[in-house]
């Protein structure tokens, strides 16, 4: 059997690990979260860090349903001269959902069957990285199944104090190996870890 593709989780977090509501005030108000849109001041820093880290190795995406719906409402309408839009719109997109059956975004398909076997199957075919963006519930399930190979964490210099956190309820400690780190002019730090 050939080499397995790498499943890379890419997340934008506050220093205290909050991932909820990065983009806009109404993005995710679950639990009365009132700090939506907290990522806006750091948008230039995100572009700076992404440019340094690159997305060239991503050949497919994996989303949970809620993240897919937010992404599908925005990215298909962005121009191809935006490198992120070009990547997202051209690459295959797999969606882990029990409720959606038809997906309108070009190249998107519903993940077939149970999460573990389905993800293991497409990790074993093709080339390049499979990137997971956002999708906190899905990431938690992937971590429980030991399917995450790398984390690329964009840590913003902000403490939110409340909100959904990326890391919670792991059955066992996980060792991480630092592969790279990039600091931006706004104080955002991109940390790339391999899961050992």
Q: What is the mean pLDDT of residues 180-190?
A: 89
In whole angstroms, what separates CA 120 from the centre of its chain?
Answer: 18
Q: What is the mean pLDDT of residues 113-135?
A: 91
Question: At 1, is the pLDDT very low, low, confident or very high (cuts 50, 70, 90)?
Answer: very low
Tens of pLDDT, residue by residue over 55-91, are 568 899 999 998 999 889 989 998 888 878 888 999 9
3-state class percentages of the chain: helix first, strand second, coil last, to nearest 5: 30, 25, 45
Range of the domain at 11: 7-184+191-195
Say if 1 falls within a structural domain: no
Say if 19 falls within a structural domain: yes
Number of domains in the chain: 1
Is the pLDDT at 151 greater than 50, yes or no? yes
Q: What is the mean pLDDT of residues 154-172?
A: 90
Q: What is the mean pLDDT of residues 15-25?
A: 90
Query: For residue 18, which phi and psi values (nearest 5 degrees)?
Result: -80, 135
What CATH number should be reported for the domain holding residue 159? 3.40.430.10
The pLDDT, as a whole number, for residue 177 is: 97
Residue 8, beta-bridge partner list: 131, 150
């Amino acid at each position: 059997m050939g080499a397995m593709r790498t499943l890379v989780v890419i997340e934008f977090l506050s220093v205290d690990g909050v991932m909820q509501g990065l983009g806009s005030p109404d993005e995710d108000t679950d639990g009365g979260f009132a700090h939506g849109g907290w990522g806006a001041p750091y948008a230039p820093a995100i572009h700076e860090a992404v440019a340094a880290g690159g997305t060239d190795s991503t050949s497919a995406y994996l989303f949970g349903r809620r993240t897919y719906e937010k992404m599908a409402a925005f990215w298909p309408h962005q121009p191809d001269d935006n490198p992120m839009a070009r990547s997202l719109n051209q690459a295959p997109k797999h969606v882990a959902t029990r409720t959606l059956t038809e997906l309108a975004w070009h190249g998107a398909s519903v993940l077939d069957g149970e999460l573990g076997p389905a993800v293991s199957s497409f990790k074993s075919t093709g080339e390049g990285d499979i990137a997971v963006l956002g999708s906190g519930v899905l990431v938690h399930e992937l971590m429980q199944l030991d399917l995450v190979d790398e984390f690329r964490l964009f840590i913003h210099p902000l403490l939110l104090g409340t909100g959904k956190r990326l890391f919670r309820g792991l059955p066992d400690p996980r060792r991480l190996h630092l592969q790279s780190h990039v600091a931006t002019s706004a104080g955002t730090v991109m940390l790339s870890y391999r899961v050992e």
